[in-house]
């Protein structure tokens, strides 16, 4: 179960601008600037378990590992109306769930209290009292999430792991 406060974003938030990959000198300090284009408060105030509720085409186009940074700063889940397919897989793989729920954006305000059951796809706005159901998630992604991300999933598969560590 993910519990926290909501941060809201609009449509077409692409993964390159989440990371602000623009400036070379800022790359190493990316955690301090994540999502700055959209909400300058985010990097400073985000807490463990917070959830981002976004509009359409979240993580558009790119395969940049934006999800990794969001997870690093404590985001517990991403909920959006629709999502770019490369970003979708990458982000689940890094251990950060992405739930798809058309119409969800208008049901949340920044700062609302939220509770999300990732496996059942049940989203609760504890501030407004309303409950929503996300589109079902592919079983393989839930399996990967349960193991804590794709790297752990690889490590736990003995036949692969046995060859990772040379004697």
Nearer to other proteins, 14 or 125 (CB): 14
Nearer to other proteins, 3 or 61 (CB): 61
Q: Does 103 bind other proteins (CB under 8 A)?
A: no
Map the footprint of other proteins across residues 65-84, applying CB under 8 A: 65, 82-84
Q: Could you give the string, one character per residue 127-146, with x where binding to other proteins holds by CB under 8 A and - elsewhere?
A: -----------xxx------
| Angle (deg, nearest 10), helices 85-93 and 139-146 | 30
> Pairing mode, if any, of strands 51-53 and 2-8?
parallel
> In angstroms, rounded to a whole number, what is the distance separating the alpha carbons of residues 64 and 147?
22
Nearer to other proteins, 27 or 45 (CB): 27
Query: Per CB under 8 A, which region of 13-21, 43-51, 107-115, 129-137 contacts other proteins?
Result: 13-21
Task: Give me the DSSP letters along 29-60.
Answer: GHHHHTTTTT-TTHHHH--TT-EEE--SSBTB
- The strand ranges marked E within 15-166 are 51-53, 77-80, 98-100, 113-117, 122-125, 130-133
Contact positions toward other proteins, by CB under 8 A? 11-12, 14, 16-17, 20-24, 37, 56-57, 60-63, 65, 82-86, 88-90, 93-94, 138-140, 149-151, 154-155, 160-161, 163-166
């Amino acid at each position: 179960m993910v519990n926290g406060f909501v941060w809201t974003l609009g449509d077409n938030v692409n993964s390159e601008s989440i990371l602000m990959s623009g400036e070379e000198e800022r790359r190493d300090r990316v955690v301090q600037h994540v999502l700055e284009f959209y909400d300058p408060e985010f990097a400073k105030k985000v807490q463990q378990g917070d959830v981002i509720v976004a509009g359409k085409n979240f993580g558009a186009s790119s395969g940049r590992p934006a999800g990794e940074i969001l997870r690093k700063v404590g985001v517990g889940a991403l909920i959006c109306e629709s999502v770019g397919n490369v970003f979708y897989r990458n982000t689940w793989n890094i251990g950060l769930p992405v739930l798809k729920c058309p119409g969800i954006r208008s049901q949340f305000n920044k700062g609302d209290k939220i509770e999300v059951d990732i496996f059942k796809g049940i989203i609760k706005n504890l501030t407004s009292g309303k409950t929503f159901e996300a589109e079902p998630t592919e079983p393989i992604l839930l399996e990967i999430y349960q193991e804590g991300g794709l790297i752990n999933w690889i490590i736990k598969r003995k036949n692969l792991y046995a060859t990772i560590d040379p004697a």
